[in-house]
């Protein structure tokens, strides 16, 4: 008789194939429970509970399933369960615990003993469902609902060209040219900054304009100091 191979599906993730001895090992380690789905061809899926040699049918607890019923951990019942229900069961591995009152269910959720994806059941529910679907059941650290993203603000325009006056201002400020360059650097720098401000971001070169303006101002300041020195020297010479 040929060996049978099984695929396992949980929360949309498919693993395998595995042999029956491998499934037995995984079940013993708690890595494979009756709440998973299994398939031999990855097309037709059924509950792992149909492997009765791994998961013997038990009458304990509610919701006993037939071999034709498939279990999906992510599936919720047709109607959301309510906290008003009394007598709750929850799944721990391949075992069912309960019944417990809702207050105790909430305490277990607060202590982390029951997670949002833990399967729970109570009278009136069509099927086992994740605990997160139970109205009024809160979990520690639960994040608030998604916040609608705000509309992005307008993007700043990218400069399409560099101001020629800014380039000239920086070059003349560096060359000096017996203070003529300094004077022109200041003039061109002022013109370039005005042009850039009026362009609303389409003209670049502000850094070069500022550099030329500063160098020109330094050159003209030196000219003023030289002129003042000559005046003072002339005034002192005329006294003698």
Secondary element (H or E) of residue 47: strand 46-47
What integer pLDDT is reported at residue 239 of this predicted model? 61
Residue 139 falls inside a structural domain: no
Mean pLDDT by 10 residues, the chain (240 residues): 79 82 82 84 86 70 39 40 66 77 90 88 75 86 54 59 87 79 88 87 86 88 85 73
What integer pLDDT is reported at residue 64 of this predicted model? 41
Close Cβ partners of 126 (under 8 Å, ≥ 6 residues apart): 77, 78, 79
Residue 67 falls inside a structural domain: yes
Residue 179 falls inside a structural domain: yes
Domain with 100 in it:
88-133
Residue 236 falls inside a structural domain: no
Q: What do you get for the CA distance between the two ends of the chain, in Å?
A: 131
Close Cβ partners of 24 (under 8 Å, ≥ 6 residues apart): 54
Residue 239 falls inside a structural domain: no
Task: Measure the CA–CA gap between 144 and 75, rounded to whole angstroms.
Answer: 22
Task: Measure the CA–CA gap between 211 and 8, rounded to whole angstroms.
Answer: 69
Residue 57 sits in the same domain as residue 101:
no
pTM score, whole prediction: 0.34
Show which of 25, 47, 73 is a domain's final residue: 73
Tokens 């029951």, located at residue: 114
What integer pLDDT is reported at residue 150 of this predicted model? 52
Residue 43 sits in the same domain as residue 101:
no
What integer pLDDT is reported at residue 110 of this predicted model? 92
What integer pLDDT is reported at residue 204 of this predicted model? 85
What are residue 167's phi and psi, to 5 degrees?
A: -60, -45
What integer pLDDT is reported at residue 96 of this predicted model? 76
For 207-229, the three-class secondary structure string (H helix, E strand, C coil) is HHHHHHHHHHHHHHHHHHHHHHH
What integer pLDDT is reported at residue 142 of this predicted model? 60
Task: Measure the CA–CA gap between 100 and 110, rounded to whole angstroms.
Answer: 15
For 76-145, the three-class secondary structure string (H helix, E strand, C coil) is CCCCCCCCCCCCEEEEECCEEEEEECHHHHHHHHHCCCCCCCCEEEECCCCCCEEHHHCCCCCCCCCCCC
Task: Measure the CA–CA gap between 117 and 73, rounded to whole angstroms.
Answer: 8
Residue 150 falls inside a structural domain: no
Residue 110 sits in the same domain as residue 68:
no
Number of structural domains (the chain) is 3
Residue 80 falls inside a structural domain: no
Close Cβ partners of 96 (under 8 Å, ≥ 6 residues apart): 60, 61, 62, 63, 89, 90
Residue 105 sits in the same domain as residue 68:
no
What integer pLDDT is reported at residue 149 of this predicted model? 54
Residue 105 sits in the same domain as residue 165:
no
What CATH code is carried by the domain that includes residue 12? 3.30.1490
Tokens 């061109």, located at residue: 188
Residue 199 falls inside a structural domain: yes
């Amino acid at each position: 008789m040929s060996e049978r191979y099984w695929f396992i599906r949980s929360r949309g993730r498919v693993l395998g194939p595995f042999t029956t001895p491998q499934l037995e090992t995984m079940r013993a380690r708690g890595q494979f429970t009756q709440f998973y789905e299994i398939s031999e061809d990855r097309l037709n899926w059924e509950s792992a509970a149909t492997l009765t040699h791994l998961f013997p049918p038990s009458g304990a607890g509610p919701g006993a399933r037939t071999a034709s019923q498939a279990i999906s951990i992510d599936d919720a019942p047709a109607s959301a369960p309510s906290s008003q229900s009394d007598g709750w069961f929850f799944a721990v591995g391949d075992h069912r615990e309960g019944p417990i009152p809702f207050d105790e269910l909430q305490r277990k959720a607060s202590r982390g003993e029951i997670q949002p994806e833990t399967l729970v059941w109570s009278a009136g529910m069509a099927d086992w469902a994740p605990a997160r679907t139970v109205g009024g059941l809160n979990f520690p650290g639960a994040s608030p609902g998604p916040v609608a993203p705000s509309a992005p603000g307008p993007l700043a325009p990218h400069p399409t060209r560099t101001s020629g006056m800014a380039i000239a201002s920086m070059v003349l400020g560096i060359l000096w040219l017996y203070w003529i360059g300094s004077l022109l650097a200041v003039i061109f720098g002022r013109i370039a900054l005005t042009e850039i401000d009026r362009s609303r971001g389409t003209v670049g070169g502000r850094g070069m304009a500022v550099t030329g303006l500063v160098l020109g101002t330094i050159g003209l300041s030196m000219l003023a100091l030289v002129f003042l020195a000559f005046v003072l020297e002339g005034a002192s010479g005329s006294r003698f």
